[in-house]
Amino acid sequence: MNGASDQRLLEVRNLKVHFPVKEGFVKAVDDVSFQIHAGETLGLVGESGCGKTTLGRAIAKLVDPTHGSIWLNGEDIAALSGAQLRARRRQLQMIFQDPYSSLDPRMTAAQSIGEALEIHRLARNAEDRRGRIEELLQSVGLDATHGARYPHEFSGGQRQRIGIARALAVEPSLIICDEPVSALDVSIQAQIINLLHDLQRQRGVAYLFVAHDLAVVEHISRRIMVMYLGKVVELGTAAAVVQTPKHPYTQALISAVPRIEESEERPRTVLAGEMPSPIHAPAGCPFHPRCPIAVDRCKVEVPALREINTAHWAACHLAK
């Protein structure tokens, strides 16, 4: 659905984010590599604690990676800091799950959006600034009168629109969307998803769309990446991952999604147990204790992410 070119916008290589704890390290992100092309949407799914949010934050450099490189428009930003990093941040923005806690309650919508313009010195003068803010508000489906209002005067969906306008203000080439619709009602969720879709078509911005809701991710993404315990377990086109999932975890995840249609008896794999704590990650394949098809090899040997079909990757010894 995304008319993306082949130009590599983001390339993440062997990224690790390890947090020290009393008992050792939490490997929140463990050796993750992937690319995002200009103008495309990569969906990132997984359950709580799988590392998807930390990965998004590491790319936005809100947490420091322990190891690895993050190439953005041909430049490694993993090691940058200070003024150098600030200058690159313009290319990469973030929107969050709860737009209420990510907007300053004492700033009007126009001030919040204007602040982004000022930080990157994008407005020539006050008039230019006003015009840009108005244009941004309109592009997210609000109007100029909304600019004078404070966050508490908006509904959740409208606040998320302001968060999007603020991210768009600096004309980024990539927006990391961290659960942007999971706090919204279904009818409002559809409005925001359609808005993100339209903005991508108009502006060619790429998204890393992080969410736990597979149906939402499938709808908006061209490709989908699935994470479990800090590792990528599957990566492929949205259609391939959803229709012919290769990793047993992805298969279970898809079968667990409650569906409106075909609600007749559908064979459902209910996974036993829960994701282990990342402090005590199992040896071998991180999924083997819950895996319905695990064999002895899975307990000792970590499976590499390998190409099962063209452009469809899975980290499972048994996938074919």
Partner 1 sequence: MLEIKNLQLEFRSGERSLRAVDGVSFSIGDGETVCLVGESASGKSVTALSIGRLLPTPPAYYPAGEIILDGHDVLKASKRELRALRGRGVSYIFQEPGASLNPVFRVGAQIKESLKLHRPQAATDGEVVRLLKLVGIGAPEARARNYPHEMSGGMQQRVMIAMAIAAEPRLLVADEPTTALDVTIQAQILDLLAELKRRLGMSLLLITHNLGIVGQIADRVAVMYAGQIVEMAPARQLLRRPLHPYTQALMNSAPKLGSDADRLANIPGNVPSPGAMPSGCRFHPRCAKARPDCSRNAPELIEVEVGRQARCPYWNQ
Which parts of this chain interact with partner 1 (CB under 8 A)? 1, 47-48, 155, 157-158, 185-191, 193-194, 197, 212-216, 218-219, 239, 242-243, 252-254, 256-261, 263-264, 268, 270-271, 274-275
Q: Can you tell me whether residue 200 is helix, strand or coil?
A: helix
274 burial (CB, 10 Å; 0-12 / 13-18 / 19+) is exposed
The rounded radius of gyration (Å) of the Cα atoms in the chain is: 20
Output 5 or 243, the one with its CB closest to partner 1.
243
Q: Can you tell me whether residue 30 is helix, strand or coil?
A: strand
CA 131 vs. chain centroid, Å, equals: 31
101: CB partners within 8 A, 6+ apart = none
Output 89 or 312, the one with its CB closest to partner 1.
312
Q: Which residues pair with 70 in a beta bridge?
A: 12
Instruction: Please state the closest distance from residue 140 (CB atom) to partner 1, in A.
Output: 14
**CA separation, residue 286 to residues 9, 77, 282, 289 (Å):** 30, 29, 5, 8
Instruction: Please state the closest distance from residue 47 (CB atom) to partner 1, in A.
Output: 4
Output 210 or 214, the one with its CB closest to partner 1.
214
Output 91 or 237, the one with its CB closest to partner 1.
237
> With contact defined as beta carbons under 8 Å apart, do 2 and 41 qualify?
yes
Instruction: Please state the closest distance from residue 145 (CB atom) to partner 1, in A.
Output: 16
Instruction: Please state the closest distance from residue 243 (CB atom) to partner 1, in A.
Output: 6
Instruction: Please state the closest distance from residue 150 (CB atom) to partner 1, in A.
Output: 17
Instruction: Please state the closest distance from residue 26 (CB atom) to partner 1, in A.
Output: 16
Output 32 or 196, the one with its CB closest to partner 1.
196
Enter the tokens of residue 261.
Answer: 């249609």
Phi/psi at 86 (nearest 5 deg)? Answer: -55, -40
Closest CA to 171 of 147, 131, 198, 206: 206
Instruction: Please state the closest distance from residue 264 (CB atom) to partner 1, in A.
Output: 8
Instruction: Please state the closest distance from residue 167 (CB atom) to partner 1, in A.
Output: 21
Output 127 or 264, the one with its CB closest to partner 1.
264
Question: What is the rounded CA–CA span in Å between residue 234 and residue 265?
Answer: 27
202 burial (CB, 10 Å; 0-12 / 13-18 / 19+) is exposed
Count of alpha carbons within 13 Å of 154, Cβ hemisphere only? Answer: 26
Output 43 or 68, the one with its CB closest to partner 1.
43
Output 259 or 320, the one with its CB closest to partner 1.
259
Q: Can you tell me whether residue 240 is helix, strand or coil?
A: helix
- Give me the amino acid identity at 300: V
